[in-house]
Amino acid sequence: MATAKKTFRSGAGISIRPDTNMGACGPGQGGDGNRFRRGLDQYGATVLALPALAIAGLGVRGIMGYCVTALLFPGVVFIHLRTEARHMDANELVTRPTQPVRRPVLVWDAPVRLFHWLVVVLVTAAYVTLKLNWIDWHVRVGEMLLALVISRLLWGWFGSETARFRSFVASPAAALRHLRHLFRREPDVQVGHNAAGGWMVLLLLALLLVETLSGLYVNNDIADEGPLTELVPAWLANAISTLHGLVWDVLLAAVALHVLVITLYAVAKGHNLLRPMLNGYKLLPSSIDAPRQTPALLALLPLGVGAAVVMLLAAYL
């Protein structure tokens, strides 16, 4: 039996036939069918992403909820997705957040950036000189690294706001809470190091300090220089030498982890952590205050102190 199509006449005498493909979304939108498919696409991507989060130890309860619902109440899942899809367009129009106005803010001062990239160059030089057995150059590189680490430790007390330890050293619980959202894609509004990044900074500084100090002693012990070499027993000297080699391997692993996390932030969260460490600036909302900056020339003072301490240690250690 053929279905009759209703035709109406407008006041101008033009015949108008309702478009059967026109739904609540308007012409050409496909009505509830397209909204439902878009809802499935959105929630399907979420369900597929949950196992990846489970591997990282996140979202376990969400996965269990979906599994139980899918196994025991498949109809509930279907109704839930259809209801969300039906209101998706309206919700997007009503709840779409307004993007805040962002402006460039200086978050990393020149001394912090110089320290970071000089450490990169010097650690690479230490690796190359060790492999080539250029021990004299290896020792000089280690002394420069030690001077830089000492200056950074001092700058962490009276330098710019983001360089100070009190601004980024958080509790271990705060660091773990931050890592739980490692794969959450969200705007980057962090000023300075985050809770987990602060602990990575402390780890790298501690490893560099132990490695350079132990290397300085090992060099003086082998060359029979320094008054303290004769006072240290043989077992302790051997332990320091072993420590120097062990910490070097741990340092390389920590550097690799550091680079991996930076890459992960770029891919998973969309945060570019490299650019601010190059030019110092980050785009932040106007509601976030710019960190206080200490004049960069004052960093010459801790650098001079670090150089003086290294010369004394090289002569008397």
Q: Is residue 122 situated within a structural domain?
A: yes
User: Do 35 and 167 belong to one domain?
Assistant: no
User: Do 75 and 169 belong to one domain?
Assistant: no
What is the residue range of 55's domain? 24-95
User: Do 112 and 49 belong to one domain?
Assistant: no
The pLDDT of residue 99 = 66
Distances from the Cα of 13 to the Cα of 5, 6, 38, 124, angstroms: 18, 15, 39, 84
CA 80 from centre of chain: 35
User: Do 46 and 158 belong to one domain?
Assistant: no
17-35 pLDDT, tens per residue? 444 444 444 444 444 445 4
The pTM of this model reads 0.68
141-158 pLDDT, tens per residue? 999 999 999 999 999 999
User: Do 169 and 285 belong to one domain?
Assistant: yes
User: Do 109 and 90 belong to one domain?
Assistant: no
Instruction: Give me the CATH number covering residue 286.
Output: 1.20.950
User: Do 182 and 33 belong to one domain?
Assistant: no
User: Do 50 and 153 belong to one domain?
Assistant: no
User: Do 54 and 144 belong to one domain?
Assistant: no
What percent of the chain has a predicted confidence (pLDDT) above 90?
A: 58
| Last-in-domain residue among 64, 95, 126 | 95
Q: Is residue 18 situated within a structural domain?
A: no
User: Do 157 and 303 belong to one domain?
Assistant: yes
Q: Is residue 295 situated within a structural domain?
A: yes
User: Do 129 and 274 belong to one domain?
Assistant: yes
Is there a contact between 282 and 131 (Cβ–Cβ < 8 Å)?
A: no
